[in-house]
Amino acid sequence: MMKIKECCISLFAAFGLLFFCLNISAQVPKKIRTIIVDAGHGGSDAGARAENEGSMGSYEKNITLAIANKLVAELKKQLPDTKIVPTRTSDITQPVKEKARIANENHGDLFVCIHADALQLKTGSRIIGYRTQTYTTTRYVGKGKRKKKIVTPHQREVAVRQYFKISTTRKGTSTLIFAARKTGDKIKAMENSDIFFDTEDNDSSLNINYNSPEWKANALLYTQNYFKKSYKLGSLIQDEIANTARENLGVWQRDKGIWVLQATQMPAVLIETGFITTPDDERYLNSEKGQQEIAVAIAKAIIKYKDQVENPKILPQAGNNSSNNY
Ligand SMILES: [Zn+2]
């Protein structure tokens, strides 16, 4: 039987070891072992659709799948020791709750969602010809019983109009991250943007009450834990986009409408790859070259992020604001 003194010494030793381990684990950078790649929408949820005149009639779900599949292939090639998990690899219906479940059950260290933007379309019209329209005028002559109605037919040419949806002109790629509240002017907030959100807002099955204490608490917790990392990844993605010929529309934050991001317990970004209602972007997003270029740019950013997280630089004491700090 152990004496009291020996017991105390053992206990101190055990605590010492525990603190030592905790200290070590706090210093060991987190490894990025699992990356989740989500092709936005799918199946009966087509996402945005290009209905502008002269468009290819693209469905967002097909573009997101093509780019996500290329991104998965690229990451598997470049990061053979990292588990890459696609949420879907074919055209299946997949509610956002299912996407979040897959990400969480696989214990992802990063969640990357691929989407495409669409803008609200204005209606235009053009004259495509004329047709002859017959109309009549009526007058009366005479008085009393002799009063007589005279109807005279006339003809006139009227324009025949064709109505159509006008293509948009905005081009480029942006990245969205979730934040429970505005985080300063470093990142633009999305509320006042005219970008049309087709993403998670329309999923009525979610039935979110944005004013509920539960939503606010969860959203805040997500922001505290993952905002900086998500922003870092978003910035790296936009930097790589800027290195292609594509327009870099920057990193934006939102507190609503991107439910899936805050439902995942990991840093998460949603990439709006381009505008399917803008003909140049639509062609680019449908082309093998364009899809591959975007996939490679995102993969490069993820690899840089992984490297920076796993091999943080030693910071000078005053470097608290450095971006390497997370
Ligand atoms: Zn979408």
What share of the chain in percent tops pLDDT 70?
79
The rounded Å distance from CA 96 to ligand 1 centre is: 11
Which pair of tokens denotes residue 48? 């945005």
Question: Ligand 1 (ion): which residues have CB within 5 A?
Answer: 40, 47, 115, 198-199
Which pair of tokens denotes residue 67? 């780019």
Q: What is the pTM of this model?
A: 0.80
The rounded Å distance from CA 35 to ligand 1 centre is: 20
pLDDT at 218: 83
> In terms of pLDDT, which residue wins out, 186 or 35?
35
The rounded Å distance from CA 2 to ligand 1 centre is: 66
Farthest CA pair distance, the chain? 135
Banded pLDDT at 307 (limits 50, 70, 90): very high
pLDDT at 188: 58
35: CB partners within 8 A, 6+ apart? 75, 79, 82, 83, 84, 85, 108, 109, 110, 112, 302
User: Residue 42: left if φ>0, alpha if ψ -120 to 50, beta else—which one?
Assistant: left
Banded pLDDT at 260 (limits 50, 70, 90): confident
The rounded Å distance from CA 61 to ligand 1 centre is: 8
> In terms of pLDDT, which residue wins out, 96 or 17?
96
pLDDT at 98: 94
Each residue of 220-238: pLDDT tens digit?
888 888 999 999 999 999 9
Q: What radius of gyration, in Å, describes the C-alpha atoms of the chain?
A: 29
pLDDT at 196: 45
Asked if residue 24 has pLDDT above 50, the reply is: no
The rounded Å distance from CA 201 to ligand 1 centre is: 10
The answer to whether 276 and 285 are in contact (CB under 8 A) is: yes
For the chain, how many residues are written? 326
Residues 197-216 have a mean pLDDT of 68
Three-state DSSP state, 176: strand
* Tokens 């936009």, located at residue: 238
The rounded Å distance from CA 199 to ligand 1 centre is: 4
The rounded Å distance from CA 234 to ligand 1 centre is: 17
The rounded Å distance from CA 67 to ligand 1 centre is: 13
* Cα–Cα distance, 205 to 45 (Å, whole number): 12
The rounded Å distance from CA 60 to ligand 1 centre is: 7
The rounded Å distance from CA 183 to ligand 1 centre is: 24
- What domains are defined for the chain? 30-122+166-220+229-320 (3.40.630.40), 123-164 (no CATH)
The rounded Å distance from CA 181 to ligand 1 centre is: 22
HEC assignment per residue over 112-174: EEEEEEECCCCEEEEEEEEEEEEEEEEEEECCHHHCEEEEEEEEEEEEEEEEEECCCCCCCEE
Banded pLDDT at 295 (limits 50, 70, 90): very high
The rounded Å distance from CA 99 to ligand 1 centre is: 13
Paired sense of beta strands 173-178 and 268-275, if any: antiparallel
The rounded Å distance from CA 243 to ligand 1 centre is: 24
The rounded Å distance from CA 202 to ligand 1 centre is: 10
**Closest of 291, 179, 187 to residue 224, by C-alpha:** 179
* Cα–Cα distance, 118 to 191 (Å, whole number): 16
